[in-house]
């Protein structure tokens, strides 16, 4: 599938087109306004832009969707990050009395980066990824999505492909956005199992009793482990590789076929554990190894901070050209990061001759310019590979909108207000 | 509050109610007059108690038999309320009053507040755990802590999951005792360590773990109270002569890390970049030697490592210009070109020196900070090697650094006992070929200073010198007492001296 060879040098030409005709501003604005339940939520949100020549500007904020569009089309950011909702408009933070300008709320976010798995990946390293190690992301998403929904009770999760070597999760529930720093760090630590730096060999330590969360995670890992680690990653291909796996010397006579090897290692371990060489608590070594190779590795610091800035969905990755697109969890097994459209592809798709739309254009252009612009943009992205990803975003927003309606009702509690909310809701669904 | 002739009786009743519980939340300040002697004695004794709580917490595993025995002994000997015995009225009164006196001293700075809250929480946790189950429930009721209990049916459905998530919970316990359901945000300590069952955003807490929730509550209240106290006029009026003799007493003995913070470098510019390699082998503590080596080998360090090592270098006297040159020359050898360094990394170096952002002049990390916060993960080289390295790897590294096998064993023993700073001290002794380091290690820069002092022949092993050095380096917020007062205070410190020496 051609991704229309992307060349970073073309960014200055492609980005203006992207922001003018493809970036889904109305859905984006709808998301970050959160149904208008809190006043000034969008206005007090910090954005940061990375412009050409690595110029980085923080504390960008906008009062309306229109202003956001105009500014982005003007500044043409190479990267867009989203920060917290502050007590005042970020663009005016210098005018605020020192100490009173504070980050109040933000989505709970997680960043899974493939480089954090370098010690257990044999196929790639650093910024590279391939279809073999992509399985790690699938495992990570499944484990974390389940835990965030079932254990923590969150409902509105947006998973986004970062564009190169990882995925991000945005937990958008009201309760999540209001979490304190301590709460965020507690959630991140609850979800962390792989601990230790370069100097730690045994990064996962399990002991009785095994927490239900670990059991759930293990069942996901076990599903993928055989195929991923033993076949694709070839972790048992050589004596050295296996030594690394177990930090133990393995007799050559156990070098059989790959999958049988695993069975033999377990037997060998039982034999060893009868002798006194093994330190106590090594009873779960097989589970520990599987987790060390496959369990998601989070950067706690990304999740901890209320004011932490994270790459925005639908931002372009300058090195690969890929758009940071939402991931549809229902299609997770078939998601291919190499199929994600690049900015050059969608711009090229845009330029292809339009079929029967020429007449409709003329009629509708006579209407309100902004609406026409929006409608044009909606038709535009629908003609590109970006369409299906925007649909995923739409579905996510619809699910959230239902909860906003509930919240607005709670706030007012009156029939009249619920009617006006209903109208507002209807207008939001018009796209 | 006006008292009439029937004063004694009234107070008696009122206070009997106030002190009918062994444990309290310290919600209400004491409302009586006490003598100055009592004031001083109460304060000093509580301070001793908190200091013991701290020491015992570091050297023993919390709630182990050793821990319990030591703390028990101290509480009894200092006459604080203990396990709800009879005739505890006086002890409870002392507990109440002494807590509030120390609040006055400890609300002054962020660090002091943090230390005070930590020790008071540890003490509270210990005393709450000593309570009978019935008294625990009484305490919860008396203090209006109503936590929702889980229905018997739900308990039955979740029994296996509950047993698997909470240490020390058996099937019978689940059936017989209450299990509480609280929003996970109220049980963060249990969530963080995954010691609780979570479902749909609620934490299911067995009765015997309820202390963690109570502690959360305790911490929040105390933290708020200290902040309020600090901002009230009360504290400003504390700065008067007769009280100022107490305040240095507190600051001398109570601070978790009481030495220099190495923010004011006395020897700025005295170190040249060429010396760093040699110094790393001779005078750097193991953590910094490790970071330096990783930096030289990989031509890169991640954020945690840059902060820990960068601030250390600032503390030993590197100037901003030297630091920039040092980091740039190393990073440029790796994957970072000079341009990228200036754009991305130079900012963070300047930030460390207080030249960017909110211009905080960050202080080098103490050992406690390195050991307890920001543990290293994959790709990191920071942290404390005695705490964060695999013992096998630590052993290899020490062998590479030519430490004797017996020395290595001693170090590993200390590591096993979680005495990380003592292990580092032992490393000092072995690498400098000296029997006794002669100082109590709690800061990497202190290691460096002591090492340099030793190597240049100016070693003074006397402990008294250390003591008076510390009393001179008080935080600036303390009003310095007049000479006469400090001398008197110094004399009074006489027998406290030996008590407060770190073991």
pLDDT tens digits along B342-386 = 888 888 898 888 887 777 778 899 888 898 878 888 889 999 999
Same domain, A319 and A391: yes
- DSSP assignments along A373-420, one per residue: HHHHHHHHHHTSTTHHHHHHHHHHHHHHHHHHHHHHHHHH--HHHHHH
Domain presence at residue B168? yes
Domain presence at residue B488? no
Same domain, A243 and A151: yes
| B377 interaction partners in chain A (CB closer than 8 Å) | 116, 194-197, 297, 299
The closest CB to that of A182, out of B188, B377, B394, belongs to: B188
ipTM over 0.90: no
Considering the candidates A107, A111, A288, A380, report the single residue annotated as catalytic.
Answer: A111
Per the annotation, the verdict on A174 as an active-site residue is no
Split into its structural domains, chain B has a count of 3
Same domain, B155 and B30: no
The closest CB to that of B197, out of A152, A212, A214, belongs to: A212
Residue B164 contacts A where some CB pair is shorter than 8 Å: yes
Is B424 within any annotated ligand binding site?
A: yes
The last residue of one of the domains, among B456, B479, B495, is: B456
Same domain, A200 and A324: no
Same domain, A249 and A391: no
Same domain, A141 and A222: yes
Split into its structural domains, chain A has a count of 2
Domain presence at residue B36? yes
Same domain, B298 and B169: no
Same domain, B429 and B360: yes
Domain presence at residue B131? yes
Question: What is the overall mean pLDDT for chain A?
Answer: 81
pLDDT of residue A226: 67
Same domain, B20 and B108: yes
| B383 interaction partners in chain A (CB closer than 8 Å) | 197
Domain presence at residue B475? no
Considering the candidates A113, A116, A288, A380, report the single residue annotated as catalytic.
Answer: A113
pLDDT of residue B473: 37
What is the interface size between A and B, counted as CB pairs within 8 Å? 108
Question: Structure pTM?
Answer: 0.65
B321 CB burial (10 A radius; 0-12, 13-18, 19+): exposed
pLDDT of residue A359: 46
Same domain, A218 and A288: yes
Domain presence at residue A30? yes
Domain presence at residue A418? no
Name the pairing type of β-strands A79-86 and A55-60. Answer: unpaired
Domain presence at residue A143? yes
Domain region containing A23:
8-106+306-354+365-410
pLDDT at A129 over 50: yes
Mention every residue, 6+ apart, whose C-beta is less than 8 A from residue B424.
B285, B286, B287, B367, B384, B386, B441, B447
pLDDT of residue B139: 81
**Cβ–Cβ below 8 Å for A183 and B188:** yes
Domain presence at residue A336? yes
The last residue of one of the domains, among B456, B477, B495, is: B456
Distance CA B14, CA B6 (A): 13
Q: Which of A50-54, B66-70, B349-353, B429-433 has the lowest mean pLDDT?
A: B66-70
A170, β-bridge pairs: A109, A158
Same domain, A53 and A88: yes
A348-367 pLDDT per residue, tens: 998 876 655 544 555 555 55
The last residue of one of the domains, among A263, A296, A329, is: A296
The closest CB to that of B161, out of A196, A212, A297, belongs to: A212
pLDDT at A276 over 50: no
B29-71 pLDDT per residue, tens: 887 888 888 888 888 888 888 888 888 887 777 777 888 888 8
Domain presence at residue B116? yes
Same domain, B181 and B326: no
Distance CA A343, CA A3 (A): 9
Domain presence at residue A373? yes
Same domain, A85 and A202: no
Residue B191 contacts A where some CB pair is shorter than 8 Å: yes
The CA–CA distances, whole Å, from A359 to A155, A384, B45 equal 43, 20, 90
Q: What is the CATH number of the domain that holds A49?
A: 3.90.920.10
Per the annotation, the verdict on A365 as an active-site residue is no
Domain presence at residue B4? no
The closest CB to that of A197, out of B184, B303, B379, belongs to: B379
Q: What is the CATH number of the domain that holds B124?
A: 1.20.930.80
Domain presence at residue A142? yes
Distance CA A31, CA A21 (A): 19
Q: What is the mean pLDDT of residues A233-239?
A: 57
Same domain, B32 and B118: yes
Is B60 within any annotated ligand binding site?
A: no
- Give the Cβ contact number of residue B31 at 10 Å: 10
Query: What single-letter DSSP state applies at residue B100?
Result: H
Same domain, A96 and A243: no
- Give the Cβ contact number of residue B290 at 10 Å: 23
Residue B168 contacts A where some CB pair is shorter than 8 Å: no
Q: Which of A26-30, A53-57, B228-232, B350-354 has the lowest mean pLDDT?
A: B228-232
**Cβ–Cβ below 8 Å for B389 and A199:** yes
* Closest chain B C-alpha to A301 CA, distance in angstroms: 9
**Cβ–Cβ below 8 Å for B192 and A186:** yes
B154-164 pLDDT per residue, tens: 888 888 898 88
Domain presence at residue A121? yes
Q: Which of A65-79, A317-331, B221-235 has the lowest mean pLDDT?
A: B221-235
Domain presence at residue A269? yes
Same domain, A220 and A335: no
Question: Which residue in chain A is spatially nearest to B303 when comparing CA positions?
Answer: A301
Per the annotation, the verdict on A299 as an active-site residue is no
Same domain, B96 and B119: yes
Same domain, A93 and A126: no
Same domain, A65 and A20: yes
Domain region containing B68:
14-140+219-255
């Amino acid at each position: 599938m051609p991704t229309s060879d992307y060349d970073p040098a073309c960014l200055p030409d492609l980005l203006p087109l992207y922001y003018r005709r493809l970036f889904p501003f109305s859905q984006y604005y709808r998301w970050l306004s959160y149904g208008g339940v809190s006043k000034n939520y969008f206005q007090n949100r910090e954005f940061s832009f990375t412009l050409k020549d690595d110029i980085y500007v923080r504390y960008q904020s906008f009062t309306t969707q229109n202003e956001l569009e105009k500014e982005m089309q003007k500044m043409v950011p190479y990267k867009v990050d989203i920060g917290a909702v502050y007590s005042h408009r970020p663009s005016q933070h210098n005018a605020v009395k020192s100490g009173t300008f504070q980050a109040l709320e933000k989505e709970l976010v997680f960043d899974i980066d493939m480089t954090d798995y370098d010690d257990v990946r044999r196929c790639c390293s650093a910024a590279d990824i391939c279809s073999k190690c992509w399985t790690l992301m699938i495992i990570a998403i499944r484990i974390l999505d389940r835990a965030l929904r079932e254990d923590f009770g969150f409902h509105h999760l947006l998973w986004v492909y970062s564009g190169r070597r990882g995925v991000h999760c945005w937990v958008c529930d009201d309760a999540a956005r209001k979490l304190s720093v301590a709460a965020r760090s507690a959630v991140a630590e609850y979800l962390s199992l792989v601990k230790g730096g370069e100097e730690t060999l045994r990064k996962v330590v399990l002991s009785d009793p095994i927490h239900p969360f670990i059991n759930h995670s293990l069942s996901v890992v076990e599903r993928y482990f055989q195929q991923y680690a033993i076949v694709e990653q070839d972790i048992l291909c050589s004596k050295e590789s296996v030594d690394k796996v177990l930090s133990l010397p393995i007799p050559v006579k156990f070098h059989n076929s790959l999958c049988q090897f695993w069975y033999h290692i377990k037997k060998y371990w039982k034999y060893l554990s009868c002798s006194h060489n093994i330190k106590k608590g090594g009873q779960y070594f097989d589970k520990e190894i599987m987790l060390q190779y496959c369990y998601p590795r989070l950067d706690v610091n990304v999740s901890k901070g209320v004011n932490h800035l994270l790459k925005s969905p639908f931002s372009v990755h300058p090195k690969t050209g890929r758009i940071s697109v939402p991931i549809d969890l229902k299609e997770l097994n078939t998601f291919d990061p190499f199929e994600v459209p690049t900015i050059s592809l969608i711009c090229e798709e845009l330029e292809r001759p339009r079929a029967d739309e020429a007449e409709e254009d003329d009629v509708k252009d006579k209407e309100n310019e902004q609406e026409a612009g929006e409608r044009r943009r909606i038709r535009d992205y629908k003609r590109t590979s970006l369409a299906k990803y925007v649909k995923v975003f739409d579905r996510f927003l619809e699910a959230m909108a239902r909860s906003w309606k509930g919240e607005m009702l709670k706030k007012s509690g009156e029939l009249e207000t619920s009617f006006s909310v209903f109208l507002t809701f209807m207008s939001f669904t018009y796209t | 509050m006006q008292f009439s002739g029937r004063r004694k009786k009234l107070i008696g009743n009122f206070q009997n109610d106030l002190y009918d519980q062994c444990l309290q939340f310290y919600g209400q300040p004491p409302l009586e007059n006490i003598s100055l002697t009592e004031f001083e004695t109460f304060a000093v004794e509580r301070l001793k108690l908190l200091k013991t709580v701290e020491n015992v917490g570091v050297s023993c595993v919390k709630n182990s038999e050793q821990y319990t025995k030591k703390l028990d002994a101290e509480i009894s000997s200092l006459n604080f309320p203990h396990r709800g015995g009879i005739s505890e009225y006086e002890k409870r009164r002392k507990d109440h009053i002494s807590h509030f006196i120390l609040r006055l001293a400890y609300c002054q700075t962020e660090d002091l507040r943090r230390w005070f809250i930590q020790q008071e929480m540890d003490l509270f946790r210990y005393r709450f755990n000593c309570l009978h189950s019935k008294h625990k429930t009484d305490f919860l009721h008396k203090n209006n802590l109503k936590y929702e209990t889980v229905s018997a049916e739900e308990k039955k459905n979740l029994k296996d999951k509950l047993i698997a998530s909470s240490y020390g919970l058996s099937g019978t316990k689940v059936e017989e005792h209450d299990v509480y359901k609280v929003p996970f945000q109220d049980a963060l300590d249990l969530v963080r360590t995954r010691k609780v069952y979570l479902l749909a955003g609620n934490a299911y807490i067995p009765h015997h773990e309820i202390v963690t929730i109570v502690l959360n509550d305790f911490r929040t209240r105390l933290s708020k109270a200290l902040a309020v106290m600090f901002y009230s006029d009360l504290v400003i009026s504390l700065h008067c002569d007769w009280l100022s003799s107490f305040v240095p007493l507190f600051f001398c003995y109570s601070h978790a890390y009481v030495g220099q913070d190495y923010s004011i470098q006395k020897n700025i510019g005295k170190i040249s970049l060429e010396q760093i390699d040699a110094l790393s082998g001779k005078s750097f503590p193991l953590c910094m030697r490790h970071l330096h080596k990783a930096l030289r080998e990989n031509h890169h360090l991640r954020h945690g490592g840059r902060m820990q090592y960068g601030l250390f270098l600032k503390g030993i006297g590197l100037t901003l210009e030297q630091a920039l040159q040092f980091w740039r020359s190393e990073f440029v050898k790796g994957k970072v070109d000079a341009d990228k360094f200036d754009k991305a990394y130079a900012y963070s170096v300047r930030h460390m020196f207080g030249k960017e952002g909110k211009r905080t002049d960050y202080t080098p990390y103490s050992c406690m900070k390195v050991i307890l916060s920001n543990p290293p993960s994959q790709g990191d080289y920071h942290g404390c090697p005695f705490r964060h390295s695999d013992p096998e790897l630590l052993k290899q590294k020490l062998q590479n650094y030519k430490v004797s096998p017996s020395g290595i064993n001693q170090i590993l023993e200390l590591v096993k006992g979680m005495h990380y700073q003592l292990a580092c001290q032992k490393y000092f002794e072995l690498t400098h070929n000296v029997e006794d380091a002669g100082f109590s290690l709690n800061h990497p820069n202190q290691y460096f200073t002591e090492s340099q002092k030793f190597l240049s022949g100016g070693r003074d092993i006397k402990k008294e010198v250390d003591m008076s050095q510390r009393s001179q380096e008080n935080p600036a917020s303390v009003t310095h007492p007049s000479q006469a007062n400090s001398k008197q205070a110094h004399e009074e410190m006489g027998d406290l001296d030996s008590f407060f020496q770190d073991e």
